[in-house]
Amino acid sequence: MSHATLFLMVGLPAAGKTTRARELAATHRALRLTPDHWMIPLFGDSMADGKRWVLEGRLVSVAVQALRLGTSVVLDYGLWGRDERSALRWLAGWAGAACEVVYLPVEKDVQLARIAERGRTAAHETFAMTEADLDGWRPRFEVPDEAELAGRALPGPPVGWAGWREWAADHWPTCLDG
């Protein structure tokens, strides 16, 4: 069993995930993986016709390999869905590592201020977001419950899935390659 931990950064845009992810990476000597740092230079678009899921899958594969080697990993994805987080928690255990869900809530006015500041100071490192985008995203975000934050037992996979491995392989193509 490795002493590695998979840190899952959970929150809406401009919640402070990347700032906290950098802190965790430094404190734990962890590998930090952030899809936006790849999507922007490679595709100039946050989704790029589904390429994000392929890229995230490759980053998950790298994360699993690092965990198996005993290196902690910080996944700076946002991870809005409980199923995503459950699959990643399962993958961490499969790799012999611990997993910690790090949730950063954020109020809309704080989001708007941070997004405006990013636009002024680091537009080349971020995607444009509007207030309408934020309003559309908030209802889709599944706030982690107490059991998830405490790392309690995983729920079963969604109906129709044999297990979290299969769900993860479908959601993030190539995540189990390598």
- Tokens linked to 47: 């989704």
Mean pLDDT of the chain, nearest integer = 89
Lowest mean pLDDT among 42-46, 60-64, 72-76, 83-87: 42-46
Q: The tokens of 149 are what?
A: 């934050």
Going 86 to 94 to 103 to 42, the CA torsion angle's sign is negative
Rounded Cα gap, residues 39 and 36, in angstroms: 5
In a domain, 12, yes or no: yes
Q: Is residue 59 part of a domain?
A: yes
* Percent of the chain whose pLDDT exceeds 90: 64
> What is the number of structural domains in the chain?
1
* Position 124 pLDDT exceeds 70: no
Please indicate, yes or no, if residue 176 is contained in any of the structural domains: no
Local confidence band at 44 (pLDDT 50, 70, 90 cut-offs): low
Q: Tell whether 19 is covered by a domain.
A: yes
* Residue 28 covered by a domain: yes
Q: Which pLDDT belongs to residue 26? A: 97
Residue 51 resides in a domain = yes
Q: What is the pLDDT of residue 81?
A: 94
**CATH classification of the domain holding 87:** 3.40.50.300
* The pLDDT of residue 173: 79
pTM, rounded to two decimals = 0.90
- Residue 119 identity: G
Q: What is the pLDDT of residues 128-138, one digit of tens each?
A: 788 898 899 99
Range of the domain at 46: 5-171
> E strands of 31-151, at which residues?
31-33, 73-78, 98-103
154 domain residue, yes or no: yes
Do the domain assignments include residue 178? Answer: no
Quick one: average pLDDT of 63-77?
95
39-48, 137-146, 168-177, range with the lowest pLDDT: 39-48
Q: What is the pLDDT of residue 42?
A: 74
pLDDT score, position 175: 84
Burial class of residue 112 in the structure, from the number of CB atoms within 10 Å of its CB (0-12 exposed, 13-18 middle, 19+ buried): middle
Q: So what's the pLDDT on residue 178?
A: 58
